[in-house]
A and B are shown apart, each in its own frame.
Chain A
Amino acid sequence: EAGVAQSPRYKIIEKRQSVAFWCNPISGHATLYWYQQILGQGPKLLIQFQNNGVVDDSQLPKDRFSAERLKGVDSTLKIQPAKLEDSAVYLCASSQGAGGSGNTIYFGEGSWLTVV
């Protein structure tokens, strides 16, 4: 079974530029998550989708970050304009369902962003 796919793996951009990350979850997984992980810290949830609806985006900086999950499968996270503090790893994850404590989430390899 294929895992969570993410691209690009690495991206270097200048501040005020834009960037987009793509994620394809594990087949059949209804819930998709985007996390931001700054070096030395734990992952912070940016947005959680259940199918193509948003469950939680309370920590998403909506003035510069946007995300969509059209058709309830793959997803795109966009940052525009980027700031230096956006330098982080952006982790996409998926789980079979949202309900129930036993739904393990599985992560992709991450997209490393450096803003210079």
Chain B
Amino acid sequence: AQKITQTQPGMFVQEKEAVTLDCTYDTSDPSYGLFWYKQPSSGEMIFLIYQGSYDQQNATEGRYSLNFQKARKSANLVISASQLGDSAMYFCAIKGFNKFYFGSGTKLNVKP
């Protein structure tokens, strides 16, 4: 069985500051992938960043970086220099054994 846990239902951050969204996971598949998606109020799920279980380096994509701590089974998303347009729901997901599972999400509000 696989499990993804996001313990922060909501977060606030000041514009231009950095924010960390937490994600922990559990899987018995030794080869798994971790993903983060953004869902604005329009409803579309937008892929942000991917980290493979065997990747040595933490993934980065522009202002997004994934803080991967394999031993702790955590895959936190760091957004640097927050913008008002970053206000949205953020979902962590794991792919293992050919199946995707999503967490319950974190709602991020960026304050001007």
Contact A108 B105 (CB under 8 A): no
Measured CB to CB, the closest approach of chain A to B5, in angstroms, equals 11
Contact A41 B50 (CB under 8 A): no
Whether a CB of chain B sits under 8 angstroms from the CB of A46 is no
Whether a CB of chain A sits under 8 angstroms from the CB of B104 is yes
With A101-B32, A101-B33, A104-B50: A42-B44 Cβ-Cβ less than 8 Å: no
Interface centre among B100, B101, B103 (most CB of A within 10 A): B100
A104 to B80, CA, bound (A): 23
Whether a CB of chain A sits under 8 angstroms from the CB of B31 is yes
Q: Which of A55, A89, A102, A106 sits near B33, CB closer than 8 Å?
A: A102
Contact A106 B100 (CB under 8 A): no
Q: Which of A41, A55, A98 sits near B104, CB closer than 8 Å?
A: A41
User: Which A residue's beta carbon lies closest to that of B43?
Assistant: A110
Residues of B within 8 A of A112 (CB): 43
Measured CB to CB, the closest approach of chain A to B95, in angstroms, equals 5
Contact B50 A102 (CB under 8 A): yes
Q: How many residues of A contact B (CB 8 A)?
A: 26
Whether a CB of chain A sits under 8 angstroms from the CB of B72 is no
Hey, what's the 0/1 contact readout for A87-104 against B, CB within 8 Å counting as 1?
Answer: 001010100001111111
User: Which A residue's beta carbon lies closest to that of B6?
Assistant: A42
Contact A105 B100 (CB under 8 A): yes
Contact A101 B44 (CB under 8 A): no
Whether a CB of chain A sits under 8 angstroms from the CB of B25 is no
Q: Which A residues are closer than 8 A to B by beta carbons?
A: 33, 41-45, 48, 55-56, 89, 91, 93, 98-110, 112
Q: Which B residues are closer than 8 A to A by beta carbons?
A: 4, 29, 31-33, 35, 37, 42-47, 50, 52-53, 91, 95-96, 98-105
Extra contacts besides A41-B104, A41-B105 (7): CB < 8 Å:
A44-B102, A45-B100, A99-B98, A101-B29, A102-B50, A105-B35, A112-B43
